[in-house]
């Protein structure tokens, strides 16, 4: 599955502007701030990555996963580049600018390529607040290449204000303790509508009858609303939360600690379920999960979507349910039906809730999607 917001980025005019601006630099002096690969770049640059899937196209760069707090590999880079990932919001773009500015040595240059009509002036103001001055170096197809130099005007306070920004998500469905969120994660300021729809249905149902689950799986956990809701409902259950976004995964662990269930929660940073069999740690949950909760990325490519969903049957006990929430159930139903799942579809406003179960013997079926 391709990393969010970086699909076909090499064709983007902003990426071309950034690549041309730094191509002649010593790549060991270059920091790519959550910007994806740049075409024509020589090996040796350092790249901050937000998602584990970004390692797939990271050949020739040193990857540094995103972390909670302004952790930087160095503070003596000659240049830092930012290509905003618009779907993650202006606040995350400003975090990237602050990271880039903080990582520069005196005289280092901060580059940002962005469309004027898509927030360019706003990000230019943020660069001015960080470094004092911003200039337009190049233009291409509506994109501006902004550049600032780190001088005595650099404001560590302005950088710190952006790097420490976080939010609390309070919702009656989540219980009395708000969930912590931050720029760079999905639905960082409120509970998304799909998750709310699934939680509202599960709250009203006798999900597992009079049984309490021992092992719960949250696949594509985000910051943890589904899985952590389940740990509150079943105080003796253990949770495996699988998430590909490094920041979101760190927030699941933080939120579990805030809720007092940290020892019962295992967070796996991965692009889907691992193929390893039973063993210690996460592997021991394979074939033993009593309940799976999934808010899947149905916008993903069909093959990637099938790879994410199909292995679930190997992790669940025979007859144990997996609950999904989707806008349209067609593709999900097709993938699940091919794996031998028995489906129950429930329509709620704006979404379809899908309950899938696999009978005894389901694990021997082919995983190849239709």
User: How many domains in the chain?
Assistant: 2
Give the domain-ending residue among 115, 134, 163. Answer: 163
Beta carbons of 140 and 19 less than 8 angstroms apart: no
Q: Does 152 share its domain with 172?
A: no
Query: Please, which pLDDT band fits residue 255 given cuts at 50, 70 and 90?
Result: very high
**What is the spatial distance between Cα 286 and Cα 263, in angstroms, rounded to a whole number?**
19
- Check pLDDT > 80 for residue 40: yes
Q: Is residue 133 part of a domain?
A: yes
Q: Is residue 297 part of a domain?
A: yes
Give the domain-ending residue among 163, 183, 217. Answer: 163
The pLDDT score that the predictor gives to residue 287 is: 82
Q: Does 72 share its domain with 184?
A: no
Q: Does 142 share its domain with 254?
A: no
Q: Does 118 share its domain with 200?
A: no
Q: Does 156 share its domain with 183?
A: no
Q: Does 233 share its domain with 313?
A: yes
Distances (CA, A) of 321 to 164, 213, 216, 316, 332: 39, 11, 10, 8, 15
Q: Is residue 264 part of a domain?
A: yes
Task: Please spell the DSSP secondary structure of 85-127, one letter per residue.
Answer: -GGG-HHHHHHHHHHHHHTEEEEEEEEEEEEGGGTHHHHHHHH
Name the one residue in this structure whose structure tokens are 């696949």: 219
Q: Does 316 share its domain with 249?
A: yes
Q: Is residue 3 part of a domain?
A: no
The pLDDT score that the predictor gives to residue 276 is: 56
Beta carbons of 205 and 355 less than 8 angstroms apart: no
**What is the spatial distance between Cα 207 and Cα 209, in angstroms, rounded to a whole number?**
6
Q: Does 127 share its domain with 172?
A: no
- Check pLDDT > 70 for residue 198: yes
- Check pLDDT > 70 for residue 262: yes
Q: Does 293 share its domain with 331?
A: yes
The domain that holds 51 is classified in CATH as 3.40.50.150
The pLDDT score that the predictor gives to residue 360 is: 75
Give the domain-ending residue among 118, 139, 163. Answer: 163
Q: Is residue 113 part of a domain?
A: yes
Q: Is residue 180 part of a domain?
A: yes
Alpha-carbon 155 to chain mean position: 29
pLDDT tens figures, 58-96: 889 999 999 998 778 899 999 999 999 888 899 999 999
Report the phi/psi class of residue 117: left, alpha or beta, with left for phi > 0 and alpha for psi in -120 to 50: alpha
Q: Does 189 share its domain with 245?
A: yes
Q: Is residue 369 part of a domain?
A: no
Beta carbons of 153 and 134 less than 8 angstroms apart: no
- Check pLDDT > 80 for residue 302: no
Q: Does 177 share its domain with 145?
A: no
Cβ partners under 8 Å of residue 33, min gap 6: 48, 80, 81, 82, 96, 97, 99, 100, 103
pLDDT tens figures, 156-189: 999 999 999 999 999 999 999 999 999 999 889 9
Q: Is residue 277 part of a domain?
A: yes
**What is the spatial distance between Cα 41 and Cα 61, in angstroms, rounded to a whole number?**
10
Q: Does 292 share its domain with 234?
A: yes
**138 CB neighbour count, 10 Å cutoff:** 17
**What is the spatial distance between Cα 48 and Cα 37, in angstroms, rounded to a whole number?**
11
Quote the domain boundaries for residue 183.
167-364
Name the one residue in this structure whose structure tokens are 């975090």: 95
Beta carbons of 245 and 267 less than 8 angstroms apart: no
Distances (CA, A) of 300 to 3, 4, 151, 296, 361: 10, 9, 43, 9, 29
pLDDT tens figures, 137-148: 999 888 999 999
């Amino acid at each position: 599955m391709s990393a969010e917001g970086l699909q076909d980025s090499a064709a983007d005019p902003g990426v071309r502007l950034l690549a041309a601006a730094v191509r002649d630099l010593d790549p060991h002096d270059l920091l790519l701030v959550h910007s994806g690969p740049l075409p024509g770049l020589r090996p040796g640059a350092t790249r901050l990555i937000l998602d584990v899937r970004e390692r797939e196209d990271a050949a020739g760069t040193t990857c540094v996963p995103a972390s909670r707090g302004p952790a930087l590999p160095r503070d003596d880079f000659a240049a830092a580049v930012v290509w905003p990932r618009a779907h993650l919001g202006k606040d995350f773009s400003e975090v990237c600018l602050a990271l880039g500015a903080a990582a520069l040595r005196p005289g280092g240059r901060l580059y940002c390529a962005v469309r004027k009509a898509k927030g360019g002036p706003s990000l230019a103001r943020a660069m001015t607040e960080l470094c004092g001055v911003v200039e337009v170096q190049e233009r291409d197809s509506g994109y501006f290449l902004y550049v600032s130099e780190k001088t005595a005007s650099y404001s560590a306070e302005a950088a710190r204000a952006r790097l420490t920004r976080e939010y609390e998500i309070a919702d009656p469905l989540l219980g009395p303790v708000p969930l912590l969120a931050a720029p760079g994660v999905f639905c960082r300021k409120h509970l998304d509508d799909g998750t709310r729809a699934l939680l509202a249905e599960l709250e009203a149902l006798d999900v597992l009858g009079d049984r309490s689950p021992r092992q719960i799986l949250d696949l594509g956990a985000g910051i943890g609303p589904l899985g952590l809701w389940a740990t509150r409902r079943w105080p003796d259950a253990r949770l495996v939360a699988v998430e590909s976004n490094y920041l979101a995964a760190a927030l699941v662990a933080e939120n579990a600690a805030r809720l007092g269930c940290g020892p019962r929660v295992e967070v796996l940073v991965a692009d889907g379920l691992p193929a390893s069999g039973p063993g210690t740690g996460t592997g021991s949950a394979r074939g033993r999960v009593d309940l799976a909760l999934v808010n899947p990325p149905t916008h993903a490519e069909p093959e990637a979507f099938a790879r994410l969903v199909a292995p679930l049957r190997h992790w669940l006990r025979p007859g144990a349910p997996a609950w999904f929430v989707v806008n349209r159930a067609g593709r999900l139903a097709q993938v699940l039906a091919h794996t031998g799942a028995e489906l129950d579809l429930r329509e709620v406003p704006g979404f379809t809730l899908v309950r899938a179960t696999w009978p005894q013997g389901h694990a021997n079926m082919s995983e190849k999607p239709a």
